[in-house]
Structure 1
Amino acid sequence: MKRIIIPAAALALCGAAILSVLAQDKPAAGAAAAAAPAAAAASAPAEVICFESRKGASEITKREIQPGLPNVKCSPTTGAALWYSDPYDGTVPMGKMPQMESIPEGLAVVKPRSEKLNLLAQCGTACHNGTYPVGFPKTNRPVPIPTMEALLPDAKNLQHGRGRVWCLDCHHTTKRNMLVDHYGDPISIDQSQLLCGKCHGDKLRDWRDGIHGKRIGDFTSTGKKRWFTCTECHNPHNVQDGARNKGFIQLQPETPPQLPRGFKDAAFEKTHAIPQH
């Protein structure tokens, strides 16, 4: 009997020891499994976002359209977009523009910004849902509006027009997520050129003729182009730049383009990896 009991006891002790070791290994294995996604996230490349025309306006996130082909190249100095492999990414047709009726539908495109404006939905529904809020000014003369000044600090000392222009000269009275024309009709936030042209007719003419503003795409006479609208380059709430007391905030210029190492000319620029039509 003793011959059976002693080996059985020894076997039980060994089994207990093995189970304790396995129990100690399980948390370590679980911790390693949990740490794996965190390590992968830490090793993933950081998201690169560069601005397209001015900081705080239109932005683009760098990604690959296809292996080895990024959608945009960002400046390591200023963070600005320097080069696009697809200039029409995320764009929609511009819509009707006076004296631009000769441009075929879809050859003039813009990038909507309304979904990037955080306060837009709130302005259009929470406070200004088609009615005048309590305490709303009854005339069109500039008056302080504490709520708006808190939401938009630029509104407290709005210098547009040297103090002769205020919110309702540009924003619709009841559809606050839209702009307004001279007839009181609403204008889409994404069509700011129709608003700015009310006062800045000469700039609108130059923008329309390609003298003023930024444009990318196919520069042949019948090519498709992306047009940058007024507020993508200019902040309408801050038009008097600090001590200069005039003009818009100046951007840091980029260095002149340099040919890639080993290239004798820029003939490679004539080819494009993305079909243009």
Structure 2
Amino acid sequence: MHVFILAGFSEVLQIQYFLFAFFLCVFKTALLAHMFIILLYRLSPSLHTPMYFFLANFSFLEICYLTNIVPKMLINFLSHLKTITFYGCAIQMSFFLIEASAECYMLAAMAYDRYNAICHPLLYNNVMGKTVCIKLVCVCWIIGIPIGVLQTSLIFSLQFCDSNRINNFYCDIPPLMSLACNKTQFNEIIMLIITFIVVIGPFILTVISYTNIIWTILKHHPAGMRKKAFSTCTSHLIVVSLFFGSGTIMYLRPNSSHGMNEEKFLSLVYTIFAPLMNPFVYTLRNNDVKNAVKKIIGEIKIVFRIIREKL
């Protein structure tokens, strides 16, 4: 078997054209938002803090995540064959697992940063120094690499039956295991163990961090500041719950219980819609970001005024 067929969402041509236009808009919006965050971080000295360092790295991770999945999906909307090669599928899965694992731990690292900022403000600069932040980001990526390589190796060591139709829009573990001829109990056990390590572990750390944050806000912050703090925490927890929740349901269910539409919907949530929402929840609603944007726009206006005067 040299190629797989990605089932996608619909066989109706008109619907595929609509989906292509829709997901192209989503893809461009998400990419531009994440690129804007990275550029803003680089151009604004006021944002050179641990929080925005993590957000800039998180945006870079999301760009990698999106560009690994969406371009092939968009191509298949306009293609009759909708194929992906055996090795292309393995590469896509490997990078997806590396990036998904790194994202889980990055979310936990970002929650830990907010925990230190709110619960231990006097020690914050010492605890979250530049070296510590760089190490945390590196650890997030390093954890993902062996997980991605191991899981991909195990899946592609299976013998696949006559059917080569993957019931999804990208190469993922559950739909590929359903194509295997031989028994997959060992693969399912490994997937459960890795899911607990990669998804459940960081999720628990994130929840603990936000629980302590909320408790500190209730105890030590005046009523006027609580509403703003709770609004931010709630938004973050919604995005975190969407990502971790959909991933947990996807990988902790028995292989036999995977439903076609449910599986694709869950995949959409954590591969496309969560990366689209993250910039608006984590960064673009933030007053520091708004002030940085106003400052840059003001500097650009001054430059244009000077150029106009010289001309």
Category of TM-score, reference length = shorter chain: under 0.3
Greater helix share, 1 or 2? 2
Bigger relative CO (Cα 8 Å, ≥ 6 apart): 2
Higher Cα Rg: structure 1 or 2? 1
- TM-score computed with the length of structure 1 as normaliser: 0.24
Greater strand share, 1 or 2? 1
